[in-house]
Amino acid sequence: MKVTKAKTAGFCFGVNRAVDLTTNLAKSGKKVATMGPLIHNRQAVEELEKLGVITLDSLDVPEDYEVVLRSHGVEKNVCEYFENRGTITHDATCPYVKKIHHLAEKTGKKGRTLLVAGDSEHAEVKGIVSYTDGEYFIFNEPEELEKWLSVGQNKQKSCNLVAQTTYMLKKWQESVNIIKKLCTDCEIFDTICRATNERQTEAAKLAQENDLMVVIGGRHSSNTQKLVKVCEQYCPTISIETVKELSPELFINIQNVGVTAGASTPAFIIQEVLNNMSEVIREDGMSFEEMLNESYANQPKVYRGAKIKGVVTGVSANEVTVDIGTKHTGFIKASELSDDPSAKVEELVKKGDELNLIVIKPNDQEGTVELSKKRYDALEGADAVAKAAETGEVLTATIVEAVKGGLVAFVNGVRVFIPASLAAGRNESLEALVKTKQEIKIIESSRDGNRRKVIGSIRAVKDEKNNELKEKFWAEVEEGKHYTGVVKSLTRYGAFVDLGGVDGLVHMSELTWEKIKHPAEILSVGDEIDVFVKSLDRENGKISLGHKKEEDNPWAKLETEFPIGSIFTGTVASITKFGAFVKILPGVDGLVHISEISYDRVEDPNAVLKVGQEVQVKLIGVDLEAKRVSLSIKQTMEAPVKEEADAE
């Protein structure tokens, strides 16, 4: 019997941190009490009790005892009680749980409703909702959320969605899909612990590869019981707390066993189970493994649909022969190697290659077995896609065609349809994505009769990345900080700039010192632009940006380089009935009053000046505060001499 242990089995970071903290306190001579069981594992708690650690079931702390707050957190009022009382506390709350506490608190302050995916009776969930001052709703099943949202007034509420750190991934994805369909304003925070995510993903993979799964962990451990449910979807599963619950009879006719454990299961318990499974001795002296080998020694190992490995021993134009480790001679027809009819056998495989295969037809009389590589690949690809739909794993898709309504892509040999709304942004072309590789998430994988329906989303991956970028940006941003951004869109009042997951607005007045009527005069969508943060509105997520530089301020240049009385050349920018505006610097126009155009009387400025005409002007006045400049054309010329009238 082959036994495979999950790499992620055992203490997670948060549990390990809590146990180490408590153990070190006890060994240093401190009197230590934990607020409730430190972790949900009876054996681990018993080990701590041997060091003198006691478990409290109330707020009544014995004198001289210091309190450790457990890894899944406590309610806010408990912390406040100990603080007011002056009790020394050590916070062993998992950082991932702490993060949810902060989100809950922020949600309440914003007046939004907190939605919590989890077990309402679990200590972690009770702790989470204690940190919000506003309305909250707890649901354990996606159907409960859907029912709550079916009430008209709830659909209109502004909500924040979080999850218990050990919530099942499949349920979380279903809940997210429901929220997106029914709620008009909901911020989604995926707070399932990374370790939980990895543990459930690995458990699902092991369960698919083995005949039996053994899950080790406490009966009251939420994450352990979630592992049991994950594994049960794929193969028979045994849930145990200790090695004492194992017996050889459980493994009759079992060839491959997978072993995993909850995040609160100590390493020594896992090791005891593994040792027992390989060393248990029966009354007749036969080892446990020998007994199991005996139980299936006479059973056929090659059967229709079996997944096996084979080593290529021969290659011809029409077929490949393989050694599958039995008395049979394995062969693969050329048509069963690949879906590509033009592919040549010798280009696909060579002698010595190890292949994953599926048995099509065994023939014990002739000692042959017909095998297929392409069917194995298709099954594995379908399994990978189906698993990705449950776990939210990001896959790489090859886009092959743009069709009505979206894109056609292939992932691991499986056809995936990506609707246009989930494929590209508003200004993006679907055709531009053809023959490219894109990261996608599978949002639906189901069967409609004999056909498999698989729907993917490019935007789901981009949205997730953008959310991560947003969190990082808001954690680091400050007024005055400079960024290189990309112009995302232009409006009549300014330009929206992508700073990396977050957009900021550069008002038109902040784009340039020159006078422009529309940002499109100097910018295009896609341009890179250097900006700096002028102001922040963290509450509403708004950022005001600046682009023009103070050192380029034309008014400062005017003050230092153009003294009153100086004469220079300018360009007529516009003409009004009372005079003409002449551009003397980028962003600075001066007014030549109608009376300063000529020594002759001017009735209409248009009669003597044209827009775009270059003229010599004299600077006769500047009001920097009001941003006004007075110019004269006639004072650049000599005044005409008046003829004296004949006295007679």
| Catalytic center residues | 124
Main-chain dihedrals φ then ψ at residue 8, nearest 5 degrees: -90, 5
Among 418, 346, 336, 347, CA closest to 377:
336
Question: Distance (Å, rounded) from C-alpha 421 to C-alpha 423?
Answer: 6
CA 645 to chain centre: 92
* DSSP code of residue 281: B
Among 476, 507, 478, CA closest to 490:
507
Alpha-carbon torsion 145, 150, 155, 157, what sign? negative
Question: Distance (Å, rounded) from C-alpha 508 to C-alpha 565?
Answer: 33
Q: What is the DSSP string of 420-448?
A: GGGTS-TT--SGGGTT-EEEEEEEEEEEE
Q: Are the beta carbons of 302 and 360 closer than 8 angstroms?
A: no
Among 525, 530, 537, CA closest to 512:
530
Tokens of 247: 């017996």
Alpha helices (H) in 454-585, listed in sequence order: 459-476, 554-561
Strand order in the sheet with 237-240: 2-5, 256-261, 212-216, 237-240
Question: Distance (Å, rounded) from C-alpha 497 to C-alpha 545?
Answer: 9
For residue 324, the SS3 value is: coil
Helix axes 42-49, 13-27, angle to 10 degrees: 20
For residue 232, the SS3 value is: helix
Taking CA atoms, 480 is separated from 35, 85, 147, in Å, by 46, 44, 47
Among 128, 28, 31, 126, CA closest to 87:
31
- Mapping DSSP onto H, E and C, the string for 233-244 reads CCCCEEEECCHH
H-helix or E-strand containing 158?
Answer: strand 158-163
